[in-house]
Amino acid sequence: MPLHNRESSMSSIEMLEILGVVKENGNEQQSFPPVHTPLSYDYVLVAKTINNQERETFRKQTEFIEELKKKNFKVTKIIDDNLVFYGIQAPKEIFEKYRYLLKVSDACNWSSDQSAVSLSTRIRIVHFILGHTRIRSGENLRELIKMKVFETKFCLHEKKKQRELKAGWARWTACLQGQPITAVRNYFGEKVALYFLWLGWYTFLLVPPAIIGIIIFLYGISYYKHSPLLNEVCNSNTTMCPLCDKGCEAWQLNETCIYTKVTLLFDNEGTVFFAMFMAIWATLFLEFWKRHRATFVCEWKVSDWSEEEEELILELVNDVNCEPKKFKHSYWTSSLIFICVTIMILVIISLTSAVVVFRVIAADFLAKYKWKSLSNHSNIPVMVLGGFLHYFIITIMTRVNWIVARKLCDMEEIRSFASTEKSFTVKMFTFQFFTYFTSLFYAAFILGRINGRPGNYVKIAGRWRLEECHPTGCLTDLFIQMTIIMVLKQTISNVFEFTGPWLCRLWKRKRTQKLQRKCAHCYLKDDSDTKDGDELCENCKLRDWLSNYRLNDVDSFSLFREFLEMVIQFSFTTLFVAAFPLAPLLAFINNVIEIRLDAIKMVTLERRMVPKKTNNIGVWLDILEAIGVLAVIVNGLVIGVSSDFIPRLVYRYHYGPCAQGTAAPDTDCMAGYINNTLSVAPMKYMNDSYKYSENIPPGEEPLYCRYKDYRSQDDYSHTHQFWIILASRFAFVILFEHVVVICKFIAAWFIPSAPMEVKNSRLSDKLKRLKEELQFQNVSESLLA
C-alpha cells in the first residue's frame, strides 16, 4: 500500500493496537510469497490404494487426474502403504490469466494488488478449479469424494508461517496479547481474519458491560440485605395455597426465604439501567465495528471487491468457454421452503412445550414427595431439571437443524456458494435461535401468568396444574435457565472443541507409522528462500503430506460454526441481560479462551482452511443488527412484564404507606408490599386431600390461604390495582423502547460507518490508478504515432 494511504488509516489501527485488540507490523502487508512457491504443492488429493485396475473407482480416479493434466497441472503421485497421494501444482499461466482478468474487471481491478499472487490466493484459485473439474460421466471432485473415489483433499500448511503464527498468536500464553490480524489474513485469507478481528473487538467491548454487570450484582447483594421485602417474606406467618390439588401441603411463605434472596439479587432498580445500557452498547459495538472493518479492508485493498465478479473470473480461468450460471427463482420453491421452515419452527416450539409438560409433571411429583425439604421447595429442582433437559434438546436439535437447513438449501438450487452460505446462515440461525430461546421466552413472559386461580386452575390433561411464580416474581426462573444453558454451552463446547481435534490427531498418529525425519538438505530448503525449480525429495514430500493428512479435516462451513457459536452468545449477552447481569462477564471470560482456542485449533490441530476473500462478515452483520433491535424489545418486556419493577413502583406511589405523603420520615415506603400482592382464597376451594404444613400447630389451621395475584376475595375478579399495574407495564414498555431506539438511532447517525481517513485513502488510490491508466494510454498512442 502507498505510504500516504497507510498513514491515513493509521489512526484506527493504532488505536486497536493501543487497546490490545490487534498486534500489527507495518511491514506485514508487503510480505507476499513469490508467484511460484516451489517447495509447497497447491493442493493434495488422497485416495485408497486400488490393486484392481479394472474397478470403476480406479477408472474415475485416473480420469480425474488426466483432466487436471489436460489443464497443464503438475501431478506428483506418491504411494504409502494403502494410501495414494496426488500432489497438485498449477501452472504459472493460470495465475497470470487470473491477474489479467482481475485488472480488466469492472470492480475487482480497484480492490486488489496485481503485483503478486500470494500462496493463499493460489490455493483459492486451485481449490475452485479442482471443485469445477468434471470427468466424462459428469461428476466433480465433491461427488467423487462421496463415491469414495478419493478419500479427502486438503491444502498444505506452510511450516515457516505456521511456526510464526504459533509463536505470536496460537498459544495459551498469548491470551492477553493483541492478534496479528494482517498475518492471519496473509495465511488464512480475509474471511478468517475478519472473524478474528470481529471476535477480538467484541471481546474487548465486553469489558465495560462486564464491569457494570459486576457492580449491578454487588448492588443487588447490598439491596437484598436491607430490603423490607426480604424481611417481610422471611418473618412472615402467611399460609400459602398448596402447589397441587391432591396430597400437597399448604406451605408457609417464610420457607422460601433463600429463594427470595436470589430473586432480589437480580430483580432491582439497577437492572433497568443495565438493560438500557446494553441496548445502546449493542449499537455502539456494531457501529464501531463497521469503522474498524472499513480500516482493515482498505488496508488490504478489498474495499470494492465483488464476490460475484471474482467468481466469474475464476470460472473463466478454469474454462474460457464457460457459460455463466443463471440466476433462478421459483415462487413455488420459495413457498415450499417457507412452509418447511414454518413447520420446523413449530416442531422446535412443540419440543419447548414438552419441556413445560415435563416441568409441570415433575413439580407435581416433587410437591408430593415424602422429603419435606424437597416437597416445600420443588420449584427449584424442577427449574434445574428443566434447564438440563433444555440443554439436551439443544444438543440434539443442533444436529437436526443442520441437516434440515442443508436440505432446504439444496432445494433452492442457488447460483453460487456465497449465496448458498447466506441462505444456509439465515435458516440455521433461525432454527438455532428458536431452539435456544423459546424456553427462555416461556419463562420470561408466560410462566405463572396463565395458571388460573384457586377453584379454577388451568390443568394439563385435566390433572396437572401449570407452574406458579413465587410471590417475589418469576425472574429467578429465567435467571436459573440462562445460567445453566450459558455455562453448559460454553464449558462443554470449549472442552469438546479442543479435545476432539486433539484426540483425533492422536488416534491417527497411533494408527499410522511414525514419520521419517526430514533430511538435512530439505530441512534447509524449507527454512530458507528458495529458487524457482527447487523441490523437496520424495521422502520429505511424503512426510509433509502425511503430517497434514493426520490433522483434522475442515470444510466450507468450519468458520460458520465458530460464527454461529459467537452470535448465539451475543444473543444471550444482550436479549435477557436484565435477568442475568453477569452474562457479559461470562461471555468475556469465554471469549478470551475462545480466541486462542480457535487459533490453536486452526494452526496446529486442523488442516489448513482454504483462504477465502471477502470484505465483510456477510449476513452475520444483518443478524447482529436484528438482535440489537430485538434486545430493546425483549429487555423492555422483561423489565415491564417479567420483573416486579412496575408493581413495586405502583405500590410505592399509589398504595404504599408513602402514597398519601403523610408517612413519618423513617417509614419504609415498601413495607407491606408482599402482603399487597397476595390474594385470599378459602381452603374449602382446595381439594379435600390437602394437608397443612408441619410448622402449623394443631388446632390453629387457617381457614384461608394466599396466592400471588390481584383478585377480589368475593368473586375472584381482577382488582382495580391489577388494571393500573397492567396499564403501567404497557406504558413503561412503550416508553422504554422508544427512548432506547431513539438513542440507538442517534448513536448510529453520530458514528460514521467508515473513518474519513479511509474514505480519503480510497479516493486517492483510485485517482492514482486512473492517472496511471491515462499515462499508459498516452504512451501507447505516442508509440503508435
Helix %, strand %, coil % for the chain, to 5? Answer: 65, 5, 30
CA atoms within 13 A on the CB side of 111: 20
How many CB atoms within 10 Å of residue 637? 20
Average pLDDT over residues 323-343: 86
Query: Is residue 522 predicted with pLDDT exceeding 80?
Result: no
* Confidence band of 700 (pLDDT split at 50, 70, 90): low
Backbone phi, then psi, for 304, in 5-degree steps? -100, 10
| Helix 558-575 / helix 190-205 crossing angle, nearest 10 deg | 20
Residues comprising the chain, all counted: 785
Please tell me the predicted confidence (pLDDT) of residue 513: 56
Please tell me the predicted confidence (pLDDT) of residue 38: 44
Cα–Cα distance, 464 to 126 (Å, whole number): 63
With beta carbons less than 8 A apart as the criterion, state whether 749 and 289 touch. no
Please tell me the predicted confidence (pLDDT) of residue 620: 92
- pLDDT single digits (tens) 443-464: 888 887 787 887 788 888 777 7
- In DSSP notation, 523-576 reads HHHHHS---TT----HHHHHHHHHHHHTSBP--TTHHHHHHHHHHHHHHHHHHT
Query: Is residue 702 predicted with pLDDT exceeding 90?
Result: no
Please tell me the predicted confidence (pLDDT) of residue 2: 44
Max CA pair span of the chain: 121
Return the amino acid letter for 149. V
Please tell me the predicted confidence (pLDDT) of residue 429: 94
Long-range pairs for 760-769: beta carbons < 8 A, 24 or more residues apart: 760/8, 761/4, 761/5, 761/8, 761/9, 761/298, 762/298, 762/303, 762/304, 764/2, 764/4, 764/5, 764/8, 765/2, 765/5, 765/110, 765/301, 766/110, 768/2, 769/109, 769/110
Cα–Cα distance, 612 to 603 (Å, whole number): 16
With beta carbons less than 8 A apart as the criterion, state whether 210 and 588 touch. yes
Cα–Cα distance, 361 to 363 (Å, whole number): 5
Considering only CA atoms, which of 30, 124, 208, 16 is closest in space to residue 614? 124
Please tell me the predicted confidence (pLDDT) of residue 367: 66
* Confidence band of 761 (pLDDT split at 50, 70, 90): confident
Q: Where are the beta strands (DSSP E) in 119-210?
A: 152-154
Backbone phi, then psi, for 211, in 5-degree steps? -65, -45
Average pLDDT over residues 36-48: 73
Average pLDDT over residues 383-404: 88
* Confidence band of 223 (pLDDT split at 50, 70, 90): confident
The chain-wide mean pLDDT, for the chain, equals 81
Q: What percent of the chain has pLDDT over 70?
A: 84
Please tell me the predicted confidence (pLDDT) of residue 675: 87
Please tell me the predicted confidence (pLDDT) of residue 5: 45
Query: Is residue 711 predicted with pLDDT exceeding 70?
Result: yes
Element (DSSP H or E) covering residue 111: none
Return the amino acid letter for 40. S
* Confidence band of 483 (pLDDT split at 50, 70, 90): confident
Q: Where are the beta strands (DSSP E) in 212-332?
A: 249-250
- pLDDT single digits (tens) 570-598: 998 898 888 888 889 999 998 998 899 89
- In DSSP notation, 600-663 reads HIIIIIBPBPPP---SS-THHHHHHHHHHHHHHHHHHHIIIIISSHHHHHHIIIIISTTTTS--
Cα–Cα distance, 252 to 240 (Å, whole number): 6
Which of 36-45, 101-110, 342-351, 744-753 is predicted most confidently? Answer: 342-351
Backbone phi, then psi, for 79, in 5-degree steps? -100, 135
Please tell me the predicted confidence (pLDDT) of residue 32: 45
Please tell me the predicted confidence (pLDDT) of residue 338: 92
Please tell me the predicted confidence (pLDDT) of residue 45: 92
Backbone phi, then psi, for 90, in 5-degree steps? -80, 150
With beta carbons less than 8 A apart as the criterion, state whether 181 and 196 touch. yes
Please tell me the predicted confidence (pLDDT) of residue 58: 87
The region of weakest confidence among 193-207, 242-256, 523-537 is: 523-537
CA atoms within 13 A on the CB side of 454: 29
* Confidence band of 764 (pLDDT split at 50, 70, 90): confident
* Confidence band of 197 (pLDDT split at 50, 70, 90): very high
Average pLDDT over residues 465-494: 79
Please tell me the predicted confidence (pLDDT) of residue 205: 92
Average pLDDT over residues 228-243: 83
| Helix 269-299 / helix 619-637 crossing angle, nearest 10 deg | 170
- pLDDT single digits (tens) 89-118: 888 888 888 888 887 775 655 555 555 677
Three-class SS of residue 240? strand
State whether the Cα torsion 9-10-14-17 is positive or negative. positive
DSSP 695: T
- pLDDT single digits (tens) 288-309: 898 888 888 888 888 878 888 8
| Residue carrying the nine cell digits 473463466 | 316
Average pLDDT over residues 200-207: 92
Higher-confidence position of 339 and 116: 339
Query: Is residue 379 predicted with pLDDT exceeding 80?
Result: no
Which of 316-325, 521-530, 573-582 is predicted most confidently? Answer: 573-582
- What are the C-alpha distances in Å from 698 to residues 519, 691, 695? 92, 12, 9
- What are the C-alpha distances in Å from 26 to residues 23, 160, 289? 10, 20, 22
Query: Is residue 516 predicted with pLDDT exceeding 70?
Result: no
Cα–Cα distance, 39 to 540 (Å, whole number): 10
* Confidence band of 568 (pLDDT split at 50, 70, 90): very high
- pLDDT single digits (tens) 244-262: 777 677 778 888 888 788 8
Average pLDDT over residues 142-167: 89
Distinct helix (H) and strand (E) counts, the chain: 28, 12
Query: Is residue 779 predicted with pLDDT exceeding 50?
Result: yes
Higher-confidence position of 500 and 125: 125
Average pLDDT over residues 606-622: 90
The region of weakest confidence among 177-186, 371-380, 479-488, 683-692 is: 683-692
Considering only CA atoms, which of 197, 177, 166 is closest in space to residue 599? 166
Average pLDDT over residues 325-344: 87
